Chain A
């Protein structure tokens, strides 16, 4: 059974489009995250979401918005895609929001903006 799953695995789209990436975890965790890993492999936190509390990394453009229909899902919606948005996006989850928790990562979504 996959613990943290993401769809799609690959996403190729044109500049200016709007797209969504879905994430689901079946671990019963309370907290979920979105990370962006750029071409230099630098993994950077974008959002964390816990019991309807959203913590946003201030460097994330407001074109990016997380949406959580329930505790097991945290989707990422991106408006007006730009070339610089091309990266691998990882979803992760942890039991609680404490930073002492191990995080479990999804397989990643490789987004390419043309």
Chain B
């Protein structure tokens, strides 16, 4: 099985940068996903890391360290529409296991 841990809630300011951390313990690790979920909507895919290092995609970047069981999602130039929950998910022998999500609040 897997254990995924991430903060419950974070607050940041419009235009700033925020880093959402995720730690995981997993058997048969197969990669680390980040999903975004707006209130009342379905989760949508943001990023996937299977090798160590940083993957950059526009304003969003995701980092993975397999030796430390650690990932983060970095959001730059924050916009009000980035207010959402961000779900860390580990791929493993049992499929995808999601963390409880980090509710990100963006303030003007």
Contact = CB atoms under 8 A, between A and B. Distances in A.
Chains A and B belong together in one complex: yes
Interface of A: 33, 40-45, 48, 55, 90, 98-100, 102-108
A103 B45 CA distance: 7
Given A106-B42, A107-B42, A108-B42, A99 B98 contact: no
B42 A44 contact: no
B50 A43 contact: no
Helix, strand, loop or mixed for chain B's interface? strand
Interface of B: 30-31, 33, 37, 41-45, 48, 50, 85, 87, 91-98, 100-101, 103
A43 B101 CA distance: 9
A98 B30 contact: yes
19 contacts: A41-B85, A41-B103, A42-B100, A43-B87, A45-B98, A90-B43, A98-B30, A99-B30, A99-B31, A99-B91, A99-B95, A100-B30, A100-B31, A102-B33, A103-B45, A103-B96, A105-B42, A108-B41, A108-B42
